[in-house]
Amino acid sequence: MKKLINAPDAVVQDALRGMEAAHGDRLRVSYDPAFVVRVDAPVEGKVGLVSGGGSGHEPMHGGFVGPGMLDAACPGEVFTSPTPDQMEAATKAVNGGAGVLHIVKNYTGDVMNFDMAADLGRGEGIEVESVLTNDDVAVEDSLYTAGRRGVGVTVLLEKICGGAAEDRRSLADVAELGRRVNANGRSMGMALTPCITPASGDPSFELGDNEIEIGIGIHGEPGRFREETRSAAEVAERLAGPIVDDLPFNSGDRVLAFVNGMGGTPLIELYVMYGEVARLLGDRGIQIERNLIGNYITSLEMQGCSITLLRLDDEMIRYWDAPVDTPGLRWGV
């Protein structure tokens, strides 16, 4: 394992130190319990947005803290959901009197820890609501399973709800909007290579020289199946096909198309992929109104990509376009 780190169990702490050194004018960092918060939190009268999850997905979530997006983010250990005390502390730190929204990706650990944190927060008299993302069409869904994972839609939801919260919309409104975003978004991912967590030092799975893994998550979990390497056009079909069929996205729908790198994929390849996705959607009469291309929800150094489509309505577009000023997304300011 070769990584630019000092020690496997110091990675999260050291990266937080780097965040504070780089963005101390805009973010405050608490080390114990660990969370990153807007320097001007709590913002009086604004719904506070708290997200969190395992580390190793940067810029998500810490890189999305700032005006127009999250108020605070709780980083867990690499690929391990954070703990209720972090979330509770963050919740208190961002409570400006209008309530706090927890944005939770649907993983057993994240859900249980955020549940406990929400109970703790409510115990302190803070109004806490939760929105769950579960957009990964690679996962079979049923009443008896843990359901679909939350992946790419989380980024879009954090931006759009961030815009609404900045606009002083109520907790109920922001939560409802978040649920609408989740309901209208679908994702799927693939990997060319595994990733290696600092703590384990081993690849998360083994892939042959001519194999790719389809339907991966963002924690180095293996995917639904593996197959021979294919052209970018075929990979785009492989991912976007099930996404389009699942919602389904129909001719005439306006969408945000998000081509996300898993962390180790060169940007030039993401643009090749975007070109294929645009062609494919064009063929089906689906209209791309907005797009996002880059490494936003990653799995350490994994090579591969995910595609997320979000069916847009006017409100979503308005809050997507609204100013945002975070280390990871920045426009309009």
Select from 18-26, 73-81, 154-162, 246-254 the region that touches another protein (CB under 8 A): 73-81
Pairing assessment for the beta strands 254-261 and 225-228 based on DSSP bridges: unpaired
Binding status of residue 300 toward a second copy by CB under 8 A: yes
Which of another protein, a second copy, ligand ADP, none sits in contact with 197, Cβ below 5 to 8 A by type? Answer: another protein
107 residue type, one letter: Y
Q: Where are the beta strands (DSSP E) in 166-232?
A: 185-191, 211-214, 225-228
Binding status of residue 217 toward a second copy by CB under 8 A: no
CA 83, 189, 162 angle in degrees (round to 5)? Answer: 55
Q: State the residue for tokens 């994972």.
A: 149
Query: What distance in Å separates the CA atoms of residue 259 and residue 296, rounded to the nearest whole number?
Result: 9
CB 171 within 8 A of CB 101: yes
Task: Fill in the per-residue mask, 27 to 66: x = in contact with another protein (CB under 8 A), - = not in contact.
Answer: ------x--------------------x------------
Which of Mg ion, ligand ADP, a second copy, none sits in contact with 152, Cβ below 5 to 8 A by type? Answer: none
Q: Tell me which residues are annotated as active site.
A: 57, 219
Q: Which CB atom, from 81 or from 260, has the smaller least distance to ligand ADP?
A: 81
Give the footprint of ligand ADP on residues 207-236 (CB under 6 A). none
Task: Fill in the per-residue mask, 22 to 61: x = in contact with Mg ion (CB under 5 A), - = not in contact.
Answer: ----------------------------------------
Which of ligand ADP, a second copy, another protein, none sits in contact with 306, Cβ below 5 to 8 A by type? Answer: none
Q: Where are the beta strands (DSSP E) in the chain?
A: 27-31, 34-38, 48-55, 72-78, 100-105, 128-133, 185-191, 211-214, 225-228, 254-261, 287-294, 304-311, 324-325, 330-331
Binding status of residue 333 toward a second copy by CB under 8 A: yes
Pairing assessment for the beta strands 100-105 and 128-133 based on DSSP bridges: parallel
Which of a second copy, Mg ion, ligand ADP, none sits in contact with 108, Cβ below 5 to 8 A by type? Answer: ligand ADP
Query: What distance in Å separates the CA atoms of residue 267 and residue 290, rounded to the nearest whole number?
Result: 18
Binding status of residue 210 toward a second copy by CB under 8 A: yes
CB 28 within 8 A of CB 40: no
Binding status of residue 204 toward another protein by CB under 8 A: yes
Q: Which CB atom, from 109 or from 294, has the smaller least distance to ligand ADP?
A: 109
Give the footprint of Mg ion on residues 71-100 (CB under 5 A). 79-80
